[in-house]
Structure 1
Amino acid sequence: MTSSTHTGRIALVTGANKGVGRAIAHQLAELGTTVWLGARDGERGRQAASELRALGHDVRFAPLDVTDEASIALAAKQIEQESGRLDALVNNAGISLAWHTPSQTPIDDLRATFETNVFGYVRVTNAMLPLLRRSDAARIVNISSVIGSLTAAAENHDPTGAFPDGQFPVILSHSMSKTAVNSLTVMYANELRAEGILVNAVSPNWVPTDANGNTGILSLEQGARMPVRMATLPDDGPTGTFTCSDATEEGTTLPW
């Protein structure tokens, strides 16, 4: 069993029982961060936290449904009682329903996607801000995607290379939700910059998840690099940016 040196930093990662959320939680824990693993499914969340603790990490389960304000409030209370503050929040929990072209998208799909992918980010951020304000170096990371880039869509060109040139995805619900995530990232960054709270949007790139049939151009571990980097920025780090994981350690900047 390996163990990490505890840094004293505390992070919450939502939707972290599997996929890139779990990889982010794992990498933060490897850096010595106490990680609150947020998950809607209690059984899967507890199991994921238990498996990461078995590796010697300080990972704790927080029941958290981002569509339920009462659930979020209870999670915030649990973190406050046990940890006292938060140094990093990674808004990762999201859904991806069947992809449709704009003209074929059911309105209910739009509502459901925004409820989790957009309103969920706002609910969790607002609930956790009192705890983040107790940190001397708070960071907020909003998981986004290149398909939320209006520039890339307008140019019909994917700068990450996940999609062939001229074949940028013509979908609506998921793309719109990630464009909204980019917008709210900039709004929070502008509101909180005077307090030293850095807020950035990050794409893990095309990584294997349930939503894409477990295909991808990067591994989950590679995809988690930039979210983790942005969650651990130094005081002079950027805010209000949109970046993407790639095969390098530095990642790349995406167009809005």
Structure 2
Amino acid sequence: MNAYFANKVVLVTGASRGIGRAVALAFAGEGARLVLAARSADRLAQVENEVRDLGSEVLSVPTDVTSHDAVAALVDAATDRFGRIDVLVNNAGIGKVGGVEAAEFADDVRQTLRASLFGMIDVTQRALPVLRQQGSGTIVNMSSVMGRKAFSRFGSYAIVMHAVSAFSDSLRQEVAGGGIRVVAIHPALTATDLLKEAEEAEMPPPFRHMTPLSSEEVARAVVAAVRRGKRRVVLPRTANMLLLGEALSPRVGDLIATALTMRPVARVLGMSRGKTYHETILSQPSV
């Protein structure tokens, strides 16, 4: 156990599964006290038991982050129980796959904005006065590699992840000097059920043969980022080549994205090491 997180209070949204669950368990393993938020009370109760089994104090609050009243109740419950919030992990969100010309594309953008951006903003605005009063704290915003480079057929998600990146960059500068840190996490494809309902043929082309990150890999990166005071983390590191290419020129970024549709290229970059996303999801036990 690392004494850095002993008795620190960590609030995680979207904590009932995937990355949120893994983040909660990772911080619990470091001795933190957890506040868990998600829509599913049943799944949240399961994670609460897992956190408690690790010896950590835990409070679970069923919460829909798209509800302002529910968000207010969440933060109030956290401060009533623990008196503070040391780390806020904004993880709740959804993702949709589909081309720009699809009839439902605009609705997909609206739904994703509501859950993945405006929910994040609401939780952050409610928690910020607590962090400011303490004069300390870290806000972790879960974005994506697509928060810096969009892929075809994932435009609605990329639009929102770009917005999360911009929100994080702006917020980081606004709270500078007040003892509050902001870190944006940009994972590549991860083995969560975010895209479980999408057919393999509907996936963005580079994703169809990629080996996804595990939720535990992302969780470890979140814990390390908070401990080290990082501002931005990209996973895996080789994905920085794509983002650097995009920063240099959209043409270069597009060429790299196209190259990633070829399995040998993805394999050389360490992004196609074994099972694909759908193979991984199908092989996972239900949690």
TM-score range, shorter chain: 0.7 to 0.9
The C-alpha deviation readout for 1:150-182, integer Å capped at 9, x for no partner, is xx44xxxxxxxxxxxxxx434221010000000
Describe the shift of the 1:15–1:216 C-alpha distance in structure 2 as closer, same or farther (beyond 3 A). Answer: farther
Describe the shift of the 1:200–1:120 C-alpha distance in structure 2 as closer, same or farther (beyond 3 A). Answer: same
One-letter code aligned to 1:111: R
**Aligned equivalents of 1:28, 1:252: Cα separation in 2:** 26
**Aligned equivalents of 2:211, 2:58: Cα separation in 1:** 27
**Aligned equivalents of 2:2, 2:56: Cα separation in 1:** 6
Structure 2 residue aligned with 1:226, among 221, 231, 237? 221
The C-alpha deviation readout for 1:121-147, integer Å capped at 9, x for no partner, is 100000111222243431001001111
Unmatched segments (≥5 aa) in structure 2: 198-209, 248-287
Check the 8 A contact 1:224/1:245 in 2, yes or no: no
One-letter code aligned to 1:220: S
Structure 1 residue aligned with 2:168, among 163, 185, 189? 185
**Aligned equivalents of 1:10, 1:216: Cα separation in 2:** 33
Unmatched segments (≥5 aa) in structure 1: 154-167
One-letter code aligned to 2:6: T
**Aligned equivalents of 2:223, 2:62: Cα separation in 1:** 22
Q: How far off its partner does 1:86 sit?
A: 0.5
Match runs of 1:167-186 below 5 Å: 168-186=151-169
Match runs of 1:1-256 below 5 Å: 7-97=6-96, 99-104=97-102, 105-149=104-148, 152-153=149-150, 168-213=151-196, 216-233=211-228, 237-239=229-231, 241=232, 243-246=233-236
The TM-score with structure 1 as length reference comes to 0.81
**Percent identity at matched positions?**
34
Secondary structure at the aligned position of 1:23 is classed as helix
The C-alpha deviation readout for 1:49-91, integer Å capped at 9, x for no partner, is 1122123222221222110000011111111111111011000
Q: How far off its partner does 1:31 sit?
A: 0.8
**Aligned equivalents of 1:63, 1:35: Cα separation in 2:** 14
One-letter code aligned to 1:205: A
> Could you say which residue in structure 1 is the equivalent of 2:274?
none
Secondary structure at the aligned position of 2:183 is classed as strand
Q: CA RMSD in A?
A: 2.5
Q: Which has the larger radius of gyration?
A: 2
One-letter code aligned to 1:178: M
**Aligned equivalents of 1:30, 1:136: Cα separation in 2:** 25
**Aligned equivalents of 1:230, 1:238: Cα separation in 2:** 5
One-letter code aligned to 1:108: D
Secondary structure at the aligned position of 2:166 is classed as helix
Secondary structure at the aligned position of 1:13 is classed as strand
Describe the shift of the 1:4–1:55 C-alpha distance in structure 2 as closer, same or farther (beyond 3 A). Answer: farther
**Aligned equivalents of 1:50, 1:77: Cα separation in 2:** 22
Check the 8 A contact 2:9/2:32 in 1, yes or no: yes
The TM-score with structure 2 as length reference comes to 0.73
Name the structure with the higher helix share. Answer: 2
Check the 8 A contact 2:28/2:55 in 1, yes or no: no
Describe the shift of the 1:74–1:28 C-alpha distance in structure 2 as closer, same or farther (beyond 3 A). Answer: same
Q: How far off its partner does 1:232 sit?
A: 3.0
Following TM superposition, the consecutive aligned residue runs of length 4 or more in structure 1 with deviations greater than 4 angstroms are 3-6, 251-256
